[in-house]
A and B are shown apart, each in its own frame.
Chain A
Amino acid sequence: MTRILLVEDNEMNRDMLSRRLQRKGYEVTMAVDGRQGVDMARSGRYDLILMDMSLPEIDGWEATRQLRAAPETRAVPIIALTAHAMAGDRDKALEAGCNDYDTKPIELPRLLGKIEALLPGQP
């Protein structure tokens, strides 16, 4: 089963997105801030990480940089989730090491398309 780590501080977003992904057959684990996200990503095996960019403790940009610097998480695909559809955000996310990028509010079919594009098989 495909394992996704969802790093998101907004409770309702976390609840909804995790449940909708679980319904699609993904195994979803959650972290509530950037530090926890990095710790969990390092200690567990995940196939993909969904990373909110505005997070407490350390933000998504920094968390992504740390994950890219660590050998055990260097190769895990990361999709950045940002609140603002700012032109610069996309480049910034890719520059920090994200593989793709989606804006909130999340539209599930669009996000699923991006997840599937980054993963070799189906859930």
Chain B
Amino acid sequence: MTTGPLSRDALAELRHELRTPVNHIVGYAEMLLEDAADPVFAARRGQLEAALAGARDALALINATLAPTRSDIGEDEVRQLYASLREPRDRISSAITTLLATPDARRDTALGDDLRRILSAAERLGGPGAPRPAATNAPEQPAPTPHAAPATPPAASGNGGSDHPEQRQARILVVDDVADNREVLRRRLEREGHAVETAEHGRRALDLVAQRPYDLVLLDVLMPELDGYAVLDALKGNAATRDIPVIMLSALDELPGIVRCIEHGAEDYLHKPFDPVLLRARINASLEKKRLRDQEVEYLQQVSRVTAAATAVEAGSYRPGALSEVAARADELGHLARVFDTMVAQVRAREERLRDRVRDLRQEIEWARRDSKEFALALDGGNLKTGDHFAQRYEILAVLGRGGMGTVYRARDLELEEEVAIKTLRPEFVSDINLLMRFKDEIRLARRLSDPNIVRTHDFGEWSGVCFLTMEYVEGITVRELIDTRGRLGVSSALAIGSQLAHSLAVAHEHGVIHRDIKPQNMLLDDLGVLKVMDFGVARLAERSTSITEAGLVVGTPAYMPPEQLMAEAVDARSDLYAAGVVLYECLTGQPPFQASSVMTLVAKLLTEQPRPPMEVNPEVPPAFSALVLRLLAKKPEDRVQTGRELEQRLQSLG
């Protein structure tokens, strides 16, 4: 293995590789110490200083061994260096792991992140040939002899082993009915450094095992009353003791007995009188196997904790830092746990940002409501008036609005005792039977949509020749009203609206529902800043009369329609995304992307002109946001953001 000295370059590289993590540890620890200047943080300072001292010791070792003036450093010496770095590294890891487990580190994610940075830097001190914890590859390995045993991972795993496998002290129970045999074994094993207890018969042995855990049981086969086979069966039949290795002791060296022991779950078999070398070797091998098994069990427990954490993240109940113990591992699982924590911290930060945006949005809504008493709609418009009963089930409370397709009322559902919105449809929309069938299909689909950002569609019905839809009633104002009273909105409010709109589109599109008529009038904001998009599926009815290939343009304005919809070509999810782009443009600039004095000029502009970038109209719009809006407004569907989900993610990553 020994080769010539390292080249100058390799030496410089190695020095850099080792000094960089040490410097990271020193840097972060010093920063955290500055933060912990207050006397209440004395305990934290103690651990940080321990880590700092560890790092300085490590640096001294590195500098002494890899001095630039030396040119005769061989691989053996490098290995030696790594081995001697293990001790300060363990000190650092253990101090930081202790801190990570404190409530402070769990609460304060910034502190937790910095501690994990220190921990990962400490890990890098292990170097490329760093011993990995054995648990991951234990099952395939034959039981190694203690001297070749892999090092235990930093921070003792707490199952009885010391940090030095070659001197590991085990708790051993010797069961023999002959006092001399017991004493001989006790003395011999104690000389090896083990803690030994004895039992003179099987029943006593089972009592002792039930009281405390042992690492190994040496069990005589031939005993009065309860013999070794019976004790072995009792141990192996109990889940709590099944994993304790048992070595059977017998005066008889005969094959059927050995086979019987192995079949009943004994680890090994020794016959008296004992050969001391063989005894030691077999005991050490058994203990080593047990240690590996314990590690494996611990590993599996930690795997299930990570899995449980994944579930908790999904349910939104995960506390960052809950995996700190697993995160302290040097192997892939530890890496996974650390990635996990970082990920959750990022999600938290994003939620935090979203909350801020919604707060801004709510402020805008409040101002708008204060300014806009006049938005209360005249009640004289519809065919129905306050107090009327409709469809023998609904009491009309107010007219909410009137659009191209009919009138919307606020009503009380007398059967279910709740408020609903009722939209009556003008007869010309429901006279075409084929169209009506298609519309009903669409409503059937839309009824399946259940999401906080989508106004629920309840029912479709007909009464006295009037077709109507009932839906969830949302107390709030439309984005149209918000823009009309407030002018352009703040960037964060626009992001709050945009990401909720994108979310509603993602959900609807994934259910096969295209909205076809996204516009600020169809977007309601409640008092909490929750956006609710209404009329999913409804626009299907109006479809026939919206394209410019037919006369009239009965419904609405084409301002929110992409070229393919204007040209009556195939409409898909990307058409809704175009409309979302127009809405965002208006939110950010207070004006639509195209303005014209007549519908025909507007359509011509829509088909041929490029909109002014939002950031030119409103310099507060960040360039990335501006570019995203322009991409949504691309003339060709394939040039736009392709899905609601993608738009949602892009908006979330802005800001």
| Residue ranges of A at the interface with B (Cβ–Cβ < 8 Å) | 12-13, 15-17, 19-20, 23, 83-86, 104-108
Contact = CB atoms under 8 A, between A and B. Distances in A.
Given A12-B117, A106-B23, A107-B23, A20 B16 contact: no
B68 interface: yes
B124 to A, nearest CB: 10
B280 to A, nearest CB: 47
Nearest to B9: A84
Contacts of A83: 16
A85 B27 contact: no
A107 B121 CA distance: 16
Q: Among A16, A17, A23, A85, which residue has the most Cβ atoms of chain B within 10 A?
A: A16
A112 B121 CA distance: 23
A20 B23 contact: no
10 contacts: A12-B121, A16-B24, A16-B28, A16-B31, A20-B27, A84-B12, A85-B68, A104-B20, A104-B23, A106-B23
4 nearest A-B residue pairs (beta carbon): A105-B23, A16-B27, A84-B12, A105-B19
Contacts of B28: 16
B380 interface: no
A64 B24 CA distance: 26
Interface string B7-32: 00100110010011011100110110
A9 to B, nearest CB: 13
A105 B68 contact: no
Given A16-B24, A16-B28, A104-B20, A23 B34 contact: yes
A82 B34 CA distance: 28
A48 to B, nearest CB: 20
Interface in B20-56: 20, 22-24, 27-28, 30-31, 34
A20 B34 CA distance: 11
Given A20-B31, A23-B34, A84 B16 contact: yes
Contacts of A15: 117
A46 to B, nearest CB: 20
Contacts of A13: 20, 24
Contacts, number: 38
Contact of B24 (A12, A84, A86, A108): A12
A104 B24 CA distance: 11
Contact of A105 (B12, B13, B22, B34): B22
Contacts of B68: 85
A108 B16 CA distance: 16
Nearest to A15: B117
A12 B342 CA distance: 14
A86 B27 contact: no
A83 B20 CA distance: 9
Interface of B: 9, 12-13, 16, 19-20, 22-24, 27-28, 30-31, 34, 68, 117, 121
Nearest to B120: A12
Nearest to A108: B27
Contact of B31 (A19, A84, A106): A19
A39 to B, nearest CB: 13
B121 to A, nearest CB: 7
Contacts of B117: 12, 15-16
B615 to A, nearest CB: 15
Nearest to A105: B23
Given A12-B24, A12-B117, A105-B20, A85 B12 contact: yes
B37 to A, nearest CB: 12
A79 to B, nearest CB: 17
B241 to A, nearest CB: 47
Nearest to B68: A85
A116 B13 CA distance: 29
Given A12-B117, A12-B121, A85-B68, A104 B27 contact: no
A105 B19 CA distance: 6
B121 A104 contact: no
A112 B9 CA distance: 28
B259 to A, nearest CB: 58
Nearest to A12: B24
A15 B28 CA distance: 10
A85 B19 CA distance: 13
Given A12-B117, A13-B24, 17 more contacts: A12-B121, A13-B20, A16-B27, A16-B31, A17-B27, A20-B27, A20-B31, A84-B9, A84-B13, A84-B16, A85-B68, A104-B16, A104-B23, A105-B16, A105-B19, A105-B20, A105-B22
A108 B30 CA distance: 11
A20 B29 CA distance: 11
A84 B8 CA distance: 11
A94 B655 CA distance: 39
Contacts of B22: 105
Nearest to A103: B16
Contacts of A86: 12
A104 B117 CA distance: 18
A65 B27 CA distance: 31
A46 B178 CA distance: 87
Contacts of B31: 16, 19-20, 23
